[in-house]
Amino acid sequence: MLIKDTYSKEETRNLKIGFGVAMGILLIISFWILADKRISHQEAGTYYPLQARFNRTDGLLVGDMVRLAGMNIGKIVDAKLDENYKAILTLEIKDNIQLPDDSSASIVSSGLMGAKYIEIEPGGSEDMLASGDEFAYTQDAMVIEELIDRIIGIGKANRNKSKKQ
C-alpha cells in the first residue's frame, strides 16, 4: 500500500485555515484566562479613593485615566448609579498628590474622536480632599452627536431666517 506524501491544494488550504482557526481560539482563551479582572495601576505606590458624581459619563469606562495638568495621577476604579440615577465614579489618586477641596472633575476627550478621561482642575482652598471625599464640582461629558445636532439646528434656523428676509 502506498502512503500519500503530498496534499492537494484544497487539502493544504483547509489545513492552513483549520490551523489558523485553532490558533485564534487558543489565543482568545489564553487572553480570557490570563486577563486580570481587577483594575490595577501601572505605577507602584499607594493611592487614595475619591468620589465624583456626574449626570452623564458617555464613553468613560472603568480603567480610564485621571489627569491633572496633562499628567496621569490615577484611574477610575469603580462606577455605579445612585438613587437619583446619577453616575458615581470612584477615582484612585496617587497619595503624594493632595487636591484642594474646591477642585473640580471634568470628563474630557483627547481629540475629536479620542479616548475620554477625567481632568482635575485644582481649586484655591487650603483645605484638602481626604480619602473617600467627593468632588463638589463636576462637569459632564460633552456628547459629539448632540453638539453636531445643535450646530445643524442653528444652521437651519439661520438659513430659514435669511430666506424669509
pLDDT digit string (tens) for 52-77? 999 888 878 888 899 998 888 999 99
**Mean pLDDT for the chain overall:** 83
Overall pTM surpassing 0.85 (yes/no): no
Looking at residue 2, its pLDDT comes to 54
Number of compact structural domains in the chain: 1
- Residue 62 is assigned to a structural domain of this protein: yes
- Residue 9 is assigned to a structural domain of this protein: no
CB neighbourhood size of 60 (10 A): 22
Task: Name the residue range of residue 57's domain.
Answer: 47-147
Which of 55, 41, 142 lies closest to 97 in space, CA to CA? Answer: 41
Give the cell for residue 80.
Answer: 455605579
- Residue 123 is assigned to a structural domain of this protein: yes
pLDDT band at 21 (very low <50, low <70, confident <90, very high): very high
Looking at residue 52, its pLDDT comes to 92
Please give the backbone phi and psi of residue 65, each rounded to the nearest 5 degrees, phi first.
-80, 155
